[in-house]
Structure 1
Amino acid sequence: MAEISAAAVIAAAEDITGLHDFGGDEWHEALDALTDALATEAGLTEFGEVVAQGDLVGSLTRRLQVVDYRCTHPEVAEMRIERPVFIVGQVRTGTTILYELLAQDPDARAPLTWEVDAPCPPPEAETHDTDPRIEDSRQIQEMMTSIIPDLAAMHPIGPLLAQECVRITGMDFKSFIFPTMYRIPSYARWLLNADMASAYRWHRSFLQHLQSRIPVNRWVVKSPGHIWALDAMMQQYPDARVIQTHRDPLRTIASVSSLARTLRTFAAEPTPIEEVAREWADYVIDGLDRSVDARESGIVPASQVVDIQYQTFATDPVAAVATAYDQLGLSFTAVAEKRMRSFLTAQPAHEHGGHHYTFAQTGLDEQALRERAARYQKYFGVPNEPLG
């Protein structure tokens, strides 16, 4: 059996790398909260214990390696990141396809899955499309889909696809990737009240690392996790351009509950969808309320943010992107448009059978949730959708 403890994770990562400089210790409290929850709440199978320990050891190993590279290449810390574009929409609101479209722009760069899986040494321009780490990442993805066959229908995966920031902040152990992958409500509650400043300092360090050998004109990044930490995000990136996607929160809750339940079967026995939905309903509503707070307080300045309604985006994704570019003061070139349309053509909807879910399966009280979501829906003008 794998030991799920902070001490075991740290010892394993140090043993693998031979390194001991973690770039500070602000991550340690988060790792303690995470390992405690995994050991007491997650209901991990024996295989799941191996998966969870490997997940955490991998995150800490990557952190050690990036810090080591940074120490031996101090010029990396001086690299500028200017006006990055952050996609901050809630889970299952069209953020993934929007992210992939923005990543098609030759003036933009998104961190790719293989780069996040194995960031050291930093990617090189000459071998960016042929790096052997791409195949290593592909094999990891194929292993996951062999164990969770429904995953491909729920969320596109692949080594060359743009990766989400939850994987990056996971190296600081402050990330909603963990409550998505595991049933750990005490950690999620801890995370919602945590100071996220260190996670975004790490986020900047990681982007600097990735661009150290490949110049970047404009970073494009994405994570639903940003919705819970907009204050820390904007403090670290005060010149960020922000795109927030919007969708009926009840549809969002139904979809993410289905996704989380499926992902958790990788490391634990299946749990009732009703239990997962009760948990995620609280997370989603909390995040949406925080996004309203961020607008009302000016944490996210009106001049730096664009809102995209899900139905508008679904009707014509490229037109929605063009409008967002215009509002953010970005140049929407003919080359960018062509590449985006080519990407859409090559990625037909429901190629893996689609993600099937209904709100009724959650067992949640529709009226009660409508009342809880009313502030968000009214503020952003988000319409109700048929729930099914």
Structure 2
Amino acid sequence: MSNPHDAPTSIQEPLTLAGLLATAEKATGLSDWGEDRTFEIGLNKLAEALEAMNPSPEFRANVHNRLQQTLAMKLHMRQDELKHPEITAGRIEKPLIIVGLPRTGTTILYDLLSLDPALRWPREWETFIPWPAPEAATMDTDPRIDVINGLYKVMLEKSPELNDIQRLDSTRPGECNHIFTHHFSSTNFNAEWSVPDYQDWYLSNRVPGHYPCHKRILQQLQWKGPKGNWLLKSPEHLFDLEGLFATYPDAQLVWTHRDPALTLSSISSMVHALCKAQDVDVPKAFIGAGMWKTWKEGMGRGTESRSKDPKIENAILDLAHKDVVLDPVGAVKKIYDHFDRPFSDEHAKAIDKFINDNPAAKRIGKHKHSPEEYGLDVNEIREGLTDYYARFGDYCKRPNA
């Protein structure tokens, strides 16, 4: 890949699909993108939406460099699969996937499930930089760990409040949001750069190739990396459960629930901090409106998919945030019992130890936010999600309710 020290710090020319592809080809000396070029759909829309914002030359360069690196990895992975057809022959069976909204206990649940040695989960650094293929022997010493942790350090310097909102550690389980960025179809772009035109497009479409690209990344990671049954997490799966099951027909899903009227301000606060870390200044009310629009669509689409397809409905276990908080071992055991997976005493002990040692406990109470701060109307949210509350309202109650 190209040397990051050679990356431009200021770019005057507009971002275009053709220009980004050409830059990646020149940097790598490669030009074979494979037969599936559906990634160009999202990339083209992202470039157009970013240019519509009249970005500064410095911001444009930052975006350009990020996108170019992603494209370069795609070219290299294409070469890998041509030379090693066993990569794309790799099977992914019965993945266990957490699909709840952000701020509903998904991260702590992900951490608890990852303590099972039978499960294979993507490290955050793997989801950002899947090429070269990670190797089992160096999962804890790979230089990419320091690269991503270095990025996190810069983010925390610009936005210290992130430390009170979520963990930033590239060795911990990573989200599928990052994997989806390799197809340029992810809510991450709007969360970091505030690109409303792109987000509107994302919410209005189910992007072709979205899940085949996701699978290709997992195949890359398991090729030389650790083996095991995949454990994954992302709220973005709610936008296209049909696409998920078309690619992973035997997937097992856990949907965590917490009152959206209370969690949307937490999500908005997190996005505000992420934008700040990227030097993007966005009014809080604008972020709140965008998050309400985004996750209203996500929850609505996920609920509708379940109602229409019994196969999807039967593959999902609903879990209340309060259950994860009050009885973490019991919550995990419930998942294992539901999907007929063996749950060991060793796993239960590991969960207890993790809870006792968990640094997240130090963050409890530090993350301050309110619906009003982000222009959110609790009554409007509850009225706009009547179908969701009618079905999942009991799961959304507070622990002491």
Alignment TM-score, normalising by the size of structure 2: 0.90
1:32: Cα distance to partner?
A: 1.0
Q: Which residue of 2 aligns with 1:204?
A: 215
How far apart, CA to CA, are the structure 1 residues paired with 2:277 and 2:140? 30
Partner residue of 2:120 out of 101, 106, 109? 109
How far apart, CA to CA, are the structure 1 residues paired with 2:29 and 2:129? 17
CA deviation digits over 1:342-387, x for unaligned, max 9? 322222335357321111212222222211112101112343559x
Partner residue of 2:377 out of 365, 368, 387? 365
SS of 1:76 mapped into structure 2:
coil
Q: Which residue of 1 aligns with 2:251?
A: 240
1:8: Cα distance to partner?
A: 3.0
CA deviation digits over 1:298-331, x for unaligned, max 9? 2653432111111121112222111111111111
What amino acid is the match of 1:383?
C
Q: Does 1:37 align with 2:49?
A: yes
Q: Which residue of 1 aligns with 2:305?
A: 294
SS of 1:364 mapped into structure 2:
coil
CA deviation digits over 1:232-291, x for unaligned, max 9? 111111100000011111122111111112211233442221111111111111111112
Counterparts in 2 of 1:384 and 1:275: CA distance versus 1, 3 Å: farther
List gaps (5 residues or longer) in structure 1.
Answer: none
Q: More deviation in 1-10 or 26-35? A: 1-10
How far apart, CA to CA, are the structure 1 residues paired with 2:116 and 2:170? 18
Partner residue of 2:160 out of 142, 145, 149? 149
Partner residue of 2:37 out of 25, 41, 54? 25
1:87: Cα distance to partner?
A: 0.8
Give the alignment of 1:309-324 within 5 angstroms.
309-324=320-335
Q: Which residue of 1 aligns with 2:82?
A: 71
Q: Which residue of 2 aligns with 1:342?
A: 353
1:12: Cα distance to partner?
A: 2.5
Q: Which residue of 2 aligns with 1:53?
A: 64
What amino acid is the match of 1:17?
T
Partner residue of 1:304 out of 308, 315, 320? 315
Q: Which residue of 1 aligns with 2:260?
A: 249
Counterparts in 2 of 1:363 and 1:134: CA distance versus 1, 3 Å: closer
Give the alignment of 1:238-277 within 5 angstroms.
238-277=249-288
What amino acid is the match of 1:157?
L
Q: Which residue of 2 aligns with 1:184?
A: 195
How far apart, CA to CA, are the structure 2 residues paired with 1:335 and 1:176? 37
Counterparts in 2 of 1:368 and 1:47: CA distance versus 1, 3 Å: same
Q: Which stretches of structure 1, 4 residues or longer, exceed 6 Å deviation after superposition? A: none
Q: More deviation in 222-231 or 63-72? A: 63-72
Q: Does 1:378 align with 2:390?
A: yes
How far apart, CA to CA, are the structure 2 residues paired with 1:122 and 1:311? 38
Q: More deviation in 44-53 or 129-138? A: 44-53
Contact 1:113 1:163 in 2 (8 A): yes
What amino acid is the match of 2:143?
P
Percent identical pairs in the alignment equals: 31
Contact 2:128 2:179 in 1 (8 A): no
Q: Which residue of 1 aligns with 2:73?
A: 62
SS of 2:255 mapped into structure 1:
strand
How many pairs does the alignment contain? 385
CA deviation digits over 1:82-102, x for unaligned, max 9? 000111111221111111211
Alignment TM-score, normalising by the size of structure 1: 0.93
Contact 1:179 1:188 in 2 (8 A): yes
Q: Does 1:229 align with 2:240?
A: yes
List gaps (5 residues or longer) in structure 2.
Answer: 1-9
Counterparts in 2 of 1:44 and 1:251: CA distance versus 1, 3 Å: farther
